[in-house]
Amino acid sequence: MNELLDSHKAPLRLGSVGEEQGRLIHYFSGEQDALLTAEIENRKTEPLDEVAHAIRMFRARGANNIDKRAALAILAGRLETQRKYLERKTSKADVDDIFHIANKYHIRHRKDQVSEDREEYLDWMFWNFFSMVRLLAALEARQNTMQTTPG
């Protein structure tokens, strides 16, 4: 089925893991989809994992801009819980940039000065937030390895 969708240049694929298995999902690219599928697979032991849920929401076949913004809010919320840690491990300016984007484009806060007319940036925001979530996981894994390795 995926070959047929690909031959027609449809931006959809059949999901292959977890709750997405057998369902039509939005297709980004082979490499990007492999990254998202691996992330969902790695998180399958936690059925209520918020990152996996955000990925499923964002790439669901029927996802509209409201769904995508909700998925982005979940990812931003995950980052918010570890904001101080991220600032110590990267730079405060980099972390501030991520939250500036989330605030300015109506992901976290809904103030009058917030821009709502940037729907074309939702995919770009998703990949930035997702990359930061992956960075956070890698930093935490490295710290855990260092703490458990005798030395």
pLDDT tens digits along 25-68: 888 888 998 999 999 999 888 878 999 999 999 999 999 999 99
Same domain, 102 and 127: yes
Same domain, 18 and 3: yes
Of 63, 91, 110, the one marking the end of a domain is 63
3-class SS string, the chain = CHHHHHHCCCCEEEECCHHHECCEEECCCHHHHHHHHHHHHHCCCCCCCHHHHHHHHHHECCCCHHHHHHHHHHHHHHHHHCHHHHHHHCCHHHHHHHHHHHHHCCCCCCCCCCCCCCHHHHHHHHHHHHHHHHHHHHHHHHHHHHHHCCC
For residue 118, what pLDDT band results from cuts at 50, 70 and 90? Answer: low
Same domain, 77 and 135: yes
Same domain, 109 and 136: yes
pLDDT of 110 reads: 65
Same domain, 121 and 51: no
Of 19, 45, 63, the one marking the end of a domain is 63
Same domain, 33 and 85: no
Same domain, 82 and 125: yes
Q: Is the predicted pLDDT of residue 115 greater than 80, yes or no?
A: no
Q: Is the predicted pLDDT of residue 114 greater than 60, yes or no?
A: no
Same domain, 82 and 33: no
Same domain, 32 and 94: no
If one counts the domains in the chain, the total is 2
Same domain, 52 and 79: no
**Mean pLDDT computed over 102-107:** 82
Same domain, 74 and 51: no
For residue 151, what pLDDT band results from cuts at 50, 70 and 90? Answer: low
Of 63, 92, 110, the one marking the end of a domain is 63
Does 107 or 52 have the greater pLDDT score?
A: 52
Q: Give the range of the structural domain holding residue 6, as residue numbers without chain letter.
A: 1-63
Same domain, 146 and 96: yes
Global pTM value: 0.84
